Amino acid sequence: MKINDIITESISFDVSTIDDKYIQSVGGRKEVDCDICDGKGENTYRNHPNQGGDTYTEPCGLCNGTGKLDRFVPDGPTLNLSNGNAFDLLRHLGLQDDEYTGHVAAKDLPALRRRLIKMLNSEKDQSAMTKDTTDTQGDMGATNTQGNVTSIGRQGARMVDMGRTPEQVKRYAKVMLDMVEYAMKGDHIISWG
């Protein structure tokens, strides 16, 4: 299983077309290698050591053993970010913020291109987008565990935010700039959702 199958809380940016009713990504359906079996058509498994530890293969359940899938594949560059990173990028670029969907019209792409070039070449601009790693958890407290044994420990869930490095910010800006330049060549737009 790929990480993209697990993480679904995100916003994707891509090159799109727009008409009176719809925004549609630029691209088309293509036959691609299966995500699960990497195009082999089968998966190899290993039994638990208590059951002999031997390996066996089975046909892939996603592609039904063909190794191929019919998927939509975008023609231009794409960028997929967590909701928090996407909203911060949108705010930093002066675009619509806190909306899960939106677009930049073709006529506004040159201005966006200038902002992205500035972002790529300005350490001050990049540092405004960086974020330190944080690790938070509830207060210390006493809890009853098995039986009547009391233990002392942190209460509640642990939240780790991995932050955002200057290298990440540069990568976001570079991919977005590639997207804008691709869109400008074809009179397209940039959309997210």
The 10s digit of each residue's pLDDT in 78-100 is: 999 988 899 999 999 998 766 78
Q: What is the 3-state secondary structure (H, E, C) of 51-120?
A: HCCCEEEEECCCCCCCCEEEEEEECCCEEEEEHHHHHHHHHHCCCCCCCCCEEECHHHHHHHHHHHHHHH
pTM: 0.73
The residue extents of the domains of the chain are: 1-26+79-141+151-193, 29-74
Measured distance CA(100)–CA(86) in Å, rounded: 9
Note the pLDDT tens digit of each residue in 134-161.
Answer: 888 878 777 766 667 777 777 777 888 8
